[in-house]
Structure formats: C-alpha cells, structure tokens
Amino acid sequence: MFKARLKGDVLKEMIKVVSTLVDEVKLNITGEGITLKAVDPAHVAMVDLSLNKEAFEELEATDCELGVDIDKIKEVLSLAKAGDILDIDHDEEHNKLVVHIENITRHMSLVDTMGMSDPKMPQLNLPANIKLAAAELNQGIKASESISNHIALVANADGFELSSQGDTDSVSLKLRKDLLLHLECSEPVRSLFSLDYFANMIRSVPSSGVVTLAIGQDYPAMMTFEIAEGNGSVTYLLAPRIENE
Amino acid sequence: MKYLTLAETYRDLQATSKRLEMRDILVDLFRGTEPRLMGRVVYLTQGTLGPDWEGLQLGLGEKLVSRAIALTAGISDDDLEALVHREGDLGLATEAAFASKGPKQVQLFQESLTVDRVFESLTQVARVEGSGSTEKRIRLLQQLLMDADPLSARYIVRTVVGKLRLGIADMTILEALEKAFLWAEDEERVMGSDKVVEAIYNVHPDMGAIALAVANEGAEGLAGFGIEVGVPVRSMLAERLGSTPEILEKMGGRCAFEYKYDGMRIQAHVGPGGVHLFSRRMETITSQFPDVVQAMESAFAGHEAIMEFEAVVHNPETGELLPFQEVSHRRGRVHGLAESVEDYPLVLFAFDLLYLDGEELLLQEFQLRREALESLLGKAGEGPIRPSTLRWVEDPEGGDDFFLEAISAGCEGIIAKAVGEGSHYRAGARGWQWIKYKRDYQAGMTDTVDLVVVGTYAGAGKRTGFYGALLMASVNQEEGTLESVCKLGTGFKDEELAALHERLSPTVLKEAPGNLRSGLQPDFHVQPELVLEVLGAEVTLSPVHRCAYGHLRPQTGLAIRFPRMVRLRDDKGPEEATTSSEIEDMYRRQLKRAD
C-alpha cells in the first residue's frame, strides 16, 4: 500500500537528481519514506537517495517496490505550478500509479521491477573532504566547459582546485582553505572526471545548496548533499577517467 | 580463463601463414586451457557458438554493432565510420577507438572479461528475438565491450559480426587437438597426425564436443562418438575425370554409373525425433522443405535412418527435370514458402544410406549399401522419393550410352562409384572412389571450376562504377592458402555486375589476406568468401598466377585461359571451391590428350 501527499517541488528535486543517470528507477517504499539506488547504463555513476517521512505532507505506506518511468513523472510535474501539492497513490488492482494535481488525475503504468537490481554502494577510502557552496562548483564547471570534456578535482591541505586542460588553453578555479566551508585533506590528491557527468550531477543540487565532496587519487568521487529542505539526502558516486601512461 | 588470452592467441595466429606454426600455437592454447572450457574455446576460435546445424548464428549487422561500439567508446557514429575507413575493418576500428589517447573512463563495477562471460553474453545476443531485440542486443554488447581491453574488443566485434576469420582450416584444429591431448609430450612425431580425431570429426563434426571430450578424457573420450541420428555426417566428395575409359581404368574395370542430378544435395535424418534435413555445408534446412519432411515421415515411418538425396525440381506436367537454380528458389526463404512448394515440386533421388535401424552402413561396400537403400525405398518409382538411376558398367560403350541417357534426361553427367573392396563411404573425403564426369568436360578444357573471388579491378567505360574484372583463386588445401588462377572479366550479365558490386564492396580489405598467393595486385582485395562457377578454354602455364606454383616448372603456376562466369555458387563456401591440385590434374590430363 502506498499513499502520499507531497509538494511538487520536492518531487521535482528528487526526479532531477535521478534523471541525470537513469530513465527508469525502482522506488523502495516503507512507512518511513522512500529510498532508491541506481547505476547509469554505462556503470560510470551511481546515485543513492533517501526521502524521509518528514519530506511528505502525508505518507501512508507498507513496504513495497514500485518501478517508475522518469519521463512520465516529468510529464506530470510539468503540469504543477509552484507550491502545488500532489496526491499519489498506488492502484494495486490495475498496478498503476495515480497522481492528482489540482483537478488533473493521471493514471500511470508502472515498470516491471524484475531484473532491476539494488546496486551496493562500494566502500571507498577518500583522503580529501571538501564542503562548499554548489554555486562555486557551478562557476568552475562553467569555466571548464569551453575548454575540455574533462575536469580535474585537486585538493591538498591548503585548498581545493577545479581545472581543465584543453588542446591549447587551460583554466582553473582555485579556492583557498578560508573560502571553503570545510577542508580536511590527509594527502594531496587529484582525479579526473567526465565533465558531462560531473556537471549534470552538480546541476541537480538544489540552488543555494551545499555539497560535500570526497575525492582521492585517480579514484571515484563521492558527492553528498541535501534535498527537500533537509528532509532528504543524496549521495552520488562518479568513476574517474584515468590518464594513459 | 581470461578472454584476452584467446585474443592474444588470435593475434599470433594471424601473424603467421604457416600451417604447422598455427597448429602449434593452438596446441599451446589448448594445453593451457582448463579442460571444462575446451568446447567454448574451440567454438569461439571457429567464430561460432556451437555446431553449424544447431543454428545459433551470430553475424549481426555492422550498423547495430557499430552503435554499441560508438556508445561504449564514447565517440560519434561518424568518427567510428572514419576509423573503419582508416583501419580497414570494424574490428581494427574498435581496437583503435578503445585504445585512443586521452583519459579512459573507468567504471564503478568492473567485471573481468572471462571466456565464459564472453561466450555466455554472445549466446544471449544470438538468442534475443522479438520486439525490441535490436535495443537488447546493443545493450548486451555494450555491457560486454565496456569491460574489454582494445585487443579483446577487436576480436569480440569480429566474432559478433561473423567475421572472425582466423584462416585456420578445421583439419589444423583437429590436428592440434590430437597433438595437445593424445600425443605423449616427449614423443617426436616425424610423420605427423595419424588422423584419429579427424576420423571421429568426419562422422560427428561437432568440434567443440570432441575437444571437450579429448581434453577431459584423452583417447577414451573419443570412444563416445559415432554416427548419430540428428548429427550430420560430413559428405563424401568426388574427384573428376573427362571420359569413360579413364574412369574405368581408375575403377579397375568395373563400377556403378549413377545419374548426376543438377539439384541440391540433402542429407536426411529420420528418427523418433522427427526428420532433420542438412545442406552440404551442414546447416539445418528442415524448415525450408516442409513437403520433403512430410514425404519422409510417411515413407520411413518406424525407421531410423540417415540417407543422402539429390533434390531436383521437376515439372509435374512433363516429368522433366529442371536445373539447379530452380531449387535455390527455396533456399533461405521465409515468406511465400507455401507458394514455392507448389510452384517447385521436388523429387528426391536417394543415392546413399549411411545408417539404418541401429546399424552403421558407412563401412559397408557400395553394393550392400545400395541394396539396403533399394529395399528400404521399395518400388516407389513414381512417388516424390525415388532411388537414383544407376547402372553397373564394365565397358566404355555401356558407360557412354548411360552418360548420354543421363544428359538427355536433364542431368549434368554421371557419377561413377567404386564397387567391392575399399568402396565404403568416406565421410569428409574427396577420393577416386567417386568420380564425376560432366558433359562440359568433353570438349578440350571447357570444364567448369568453382573459384573464390579474392580481388577486384575497377571497371571503365560501360562498366564505370562496377567491376572490370575479378581476381579468382583456387584453394590449396594442404597449405591452407588461396592461389590466384585467372582474372575473370567476361560472362557477367548486367544485373550480375550490379549484384557482384553490392556483395563485394562491403568486404574490401585494407591489405591482401595473409593466405593469398598471387603475382597480381588487384585494385582492391576482398574477403575471400564468394564462389563463382567459371568456364575456361584450357589450363596453361603462367608466370603470374600461383595455382600449383612450382609443381610443373620452377617459378611457374597455372592459369585458366578465357575464363567466363557461369553463375554464382552461393551454396558453396570458399573451402568447397575447386582445389589447386584438381586444376593441376586437369592440366596433366590435357597434356596427355594433346600427346
């Protein structure tokens, strides 16, 4: 059983996070909230998201799994105005998700969850931890986009840097320790990432949000941030690109 | 076992054209392979996933495979196409794309690429059917390629598109199995193979199953194989001669003459599991001949048998036999099968019986097999299943009369069959126990041969945009090479010119295949896979062609003069083309006649 009432904006944030990686997702629903884990088809990135009970206006559910098509949810959300509240429930008899916004009711077929696995979050040992405003990261991404398809994340005890090297030009955004909300770095590290993936992930952080980045040397990066005004959390994992010797 | 081990072996195999070196590379591979994996290793090495008759085919379209490659390598379709153009084939282009400079994207969950994983994924790819199958195939391939290093990717891609083509003859694999598992390690074999594995392969041509058995149990593993209903037996093949006296001389003065029908050879297996039909290339063709299946079910109810037939189309009005092309209307047909069954009724002429109700007849003399066949068929003279027309011949006059009868009945000629001692069925072998004598042989060398297209020359004038000529080769089975024997430029109909261009241009190679021998450099080399029937005026000595090179005179090969295309031979693969030694025999006989 699943019956929920929530703000359209909360669902929008959640869908933005997931849609950067996958088209379909399995929601694990309990009376305490919703969680999901998904890996993109290329196995390059992973998302682990949870939305607590407090993120909902109302939530009534027994444990269940629902497979949803992200594009369909987006279609419904495009009908919602700022501040609209959505009512969602699971029509078990017809196995449809029923969404009400104002006077609109959408019956949505579900995706078969057979074969949709629950990926395990790998254990990572990441020596650098950086906490900063998403706006700073977006600035660095913007600077890199005209230069290269890659972006390097570099950290040492003194600061954090985003840099890109193109064929002829290069660019970097340097943030000294005092400009960061937090920096902890036991050894100097550098990892290179696909700018495309990285940019999409950072763009799904709610505006005025804060991101905690954990990075290592030629190692996956972990990005953690809050959604739903602190009542939900997201962890992204992104595999690096390794430079050939 | 990592797939990379196989890929490295394939690279080494392609670096040599020497048969014994190839064999020894395979021996090292086989000895280093876990016995349980031997079947899969051998199938993959043949570019397949199982025996031909099981019909699990790869050979996916290059467009679909390209999509998966581009997605995995993170390049555009256009960039991949440019790479294919530069590198010469999709396999090398993939390797280049995967090895390209710049940082390589790694994955969160890397799985290692084992032989098992590749084999199982490819099997899944081959089995996918129904709606959305293209997408599913692309996804499966992408998942596989994602974990592949550049070299493995090269060979996976070639396997998937059905173009692995390592240039290893089946006999080389069989000999490698023998050396790896049956010869004592310290044994110095000067004489080479004693062909025990080959003998099993001829009656049970499932290379993977045999490999698995010998790897696990050595010689004892071979004991389990024999003739089996449902598993095609390799066909016995005929030599050729050009006159009745020559044939009688070879046959010791007495033999059987049988009509050589201009039809399609079918091996039929009848048993409790139903009827199975196999082509001469051992593909399952049961579904294309529902009428044949039905006729056999009723004719041989309650029996278990393996028989060989020539299927010929006849005109039910006149009883006249029609040429081979009419049967080929049925081949590979999915749609309109019912109509073609009506339009092209078949008569099946049975000419051999290899197995009947628990008894292997393979090793029986020809007369005994023939008697058993006739008693099984009974007097079904007018039905769709009939015994082939046969006469016992002891003198040239009787033979010539029968030959003329065969020609006037619409046959290509006759096949002479040895009788008495040594006349058992020699599966997979071409020998003088069967000799074909076709009407074309009568005048000089107006003999047709089946040659492989190995190169093309651009056309000019009326033929601009098509081919001016094709470089043709015969097969040297001992060396595993293709030897050029003529430049073919006449006999093409306009539509054939267009069809040839369409067939050959996608198979252009960047450089000559390693096993091609020729003194000529065509404009383009092509994959040696298309076989054409060619009629020539005579066989001559040639300084540029390499057929039977050096056999008759140093630095001299044989060429076919005035070659003319007769038709496409889609039913034949390059391994079934005319051999260089057959052409050498033609040359020697021609000399004898000139004397």
- Catalytic residue status for B195: no
Same domain, A84 and A135: no
Residue A81: which domain range? 2-109
Identify whether residues B284 and B413 lie together within a single domain: yes
Last residue in a domain, options B440, B459, B492: B440
- Does residue A230 fall inside a structural domain? yes
Residue of A nearest to B138 (CA): A41
Which of B69, B101, B108, B141 would best serve as a mutation to test chain A binding (most A beta carbons within 10 A)?
A: B108
CATH number at residue B391: 3.30.470.30
ipTM of the complex: 0.81
Q: How far apart are CA B451 and CA B484, in angstroms?
A: 9
User: Which chain B residues are closer than 8 Å to A240 by Cβ?
Assistant: 106
What number of other Cβ atoms are within 10 A of residue B48's Cβ?
22
Encode chain B (595 residues) as per-residue pLDDT tens digits. Answer: 999 999 999 999 999 888 889 999 999 999 999 999 999 999 999 999 999 888 788 888 889 999 999 888 878 889 999 999 888 889 999 999 988 767 777 888 777 899 999 999 999 999 988 777 888 888 889 889 988 999 999 999 999 999 898 888 888 999 999 989 988 665 555 456 667 888 899 999 999 999 999 999 988 999 889 899 999 999 999 998 988 999 999 999 999 999 999 888 999 999 998 999 999 888 899 988 888 899 899 889 889 999 999 998 876 666 667 766 566 655 555 556 666 666 667 889 999 999 999 999 999 999 999 999 999 987 655 678 999 999 999 999 899 889 878 877 778 889 999 998 899 999 988 889 999 998 754 445 556 899 999 999 988 777 888 888 999 999 998 888 999 999 998 888 888 888 899 899 889 988 888 899 999 999 999 999 999 999 887 787 888 899 999 998 888 889 887 788 988 898 888 988 999 999 998 888 776 665 4
Distances (CA, A) of B85 to A63, B432, B569: 55, 47, 29
Q: Which residues of A touch B124 (CB under 8 A)?
A: none
Put simply, whether the predicted model's pTM sits higher than 0.80 gets the answer no
Instruction: Give the pair of three-digit tokens for residue B526.
Output: 């092509």
Residue numbers in A near B71 (CB within 8 A): 42
Q: Are residues B487 and B537 in the same domain?
A: yes
DSSP string, A97-151: EEEEETTEEEEEEPBP-TT---PPPPP----EEEEEEHHHHHHHHHHHHTT-SEE
Asked whether residue B284 falls in the same domain as residue B379, the answer is yes
- The whole domain housing B262 covers 239-440
How many distinct structural domains can be found in chain A?
2
Give the pLDDT confidence of A43-81 residue by residue, as tens digits.
Answer: 889 999 999 999 999 999 999 999 999 999 999 999 999
In chain B, count of helices (H) and strands (E)? 21, 22
Query: Tens digit of pLDDT for each residue in A186-213?
Result: 999 999 999 999 999 999 999 889 999 9
Q: Rounded CA gap, B515 and A76, in Å? A: 63
Largest Cα span, chain B: 81
Indicate whether B425 and B453 sit together in one domain. no
Which residues fall within 8 angstroms of residue B484, CB to CB, at 6 or more apart?
B454, B455, B471, B472, B473, B516, B517, B518, B519, B520, B544, B545, B546, B547, B557
In a domain, A117, yes or no: no
Residue B465 lies in a domain: yes
Boundary of a domain, candidates A58, A74, A109: A109
Query: How many independent structural domains does chain B possess?
Result: 3
- Side chain identity, residue B459: G
Residues A136 and A194 in one domain: yes
Same domain, A99 and A134: no
In a domain, B305, yes or no: yes
CATH code for the domain in which residue B550 is found? 2.40.50.140
On chain B, the residues whose CB falls within 8 A of the CB of A150 are: 103
Same domain, A230 and A145: yes
Tell me whether residues A241 and B106 touch, CB distance under 8 A: yes
Identify whether B216 is part of a domain: no
State residue B593 phi and psi, 5-degree precision.
-65, -35
Domain-terminating residue out of B440, B475, B492: B440
The CATH number for A75's domain is: 3.10.150.10
Exposed, middle or buried by CB within 10 Å (0-12, 13-18, 19+), for B553? exposed
In-domain check, residue A116: no
In a domain, A178, yes or no: yes
Smallest CA–CA distance, residue A79 to chain B, in Å, is 31
Domain membership of residue B227 (yes or no) is no
What's the token pair of residue B565? 């295309």
Q: Which of B101, B108, B142 sits opposite A237 (nearest CB)?
A: B108
Q: Are residues B263 and B155 in the same domain?
A: no
Task: Extract the tokens encoding B128.
Answer: 């996918």
The answer to whether residue A183 is domain-embedded is yes
Packing angle, helices B150-160 and B115-127, rounded to 10: 30
Residue A202 domain-assigned?
yes
Question: Is A134 found in the same domain as A70?
Answer: no
In a domain, A227, yes or no: yes
Beta strand B430-438 with B237-240: parallel, antiparallel or unpaired? parallel
pLDDT at B99: 85
Q: Which two tokens stand for residue B39?
A: 């079947």
| Residue A27 and residue A34 in contact, taking contact as beta carbons nearer than 8 Å | yes
- Binding-site residues on chain B for chain A (CB distance < 8 A): 71-72, 101-109, 139, 142, 146
Do A43 and B109 make contact, defined as CB atoms within 8 angstroms?
Answer: yes
Asked if A237 has any chain B CB less than 8 Å from its own CB, the reply is: yes
Are B558 and B547 in contact by the 8 Å Cβ rule? The answer is yes
Task: Identify the closest residue of chain A to B145 by CA–CA distance.
Answer: A42
How far is A199 from A203, CA to CA, in rounded Å? Answer: 6
A123, part of any domain: no
CATH of the domain at A200: 3.70.10.10
Q: pLDDT band at residue A245, thresholds of 50, 70 and 90?
A: very low
Set B163, B260, B438, B487: catalytic member:
B260
Residue A123 touches chain B, beta carbons under 8 Å: no
Q: Are residues B432 and B285 in the same domain?
A: yes
Nearest to B108 among A41, A46, A150 (CB): A46
* Chain A interface, best mutation among B104, B106, B144, by max A CB count within 10 A: B106
Q: Across the interface, do B105 and A239 touch by the CB < 8 Å criterion?
A: yes
Buried b (16+ CB within 10 A) or exposed e, B436-463: bbbbebeeebebbbbbbbbbbbebeeeb
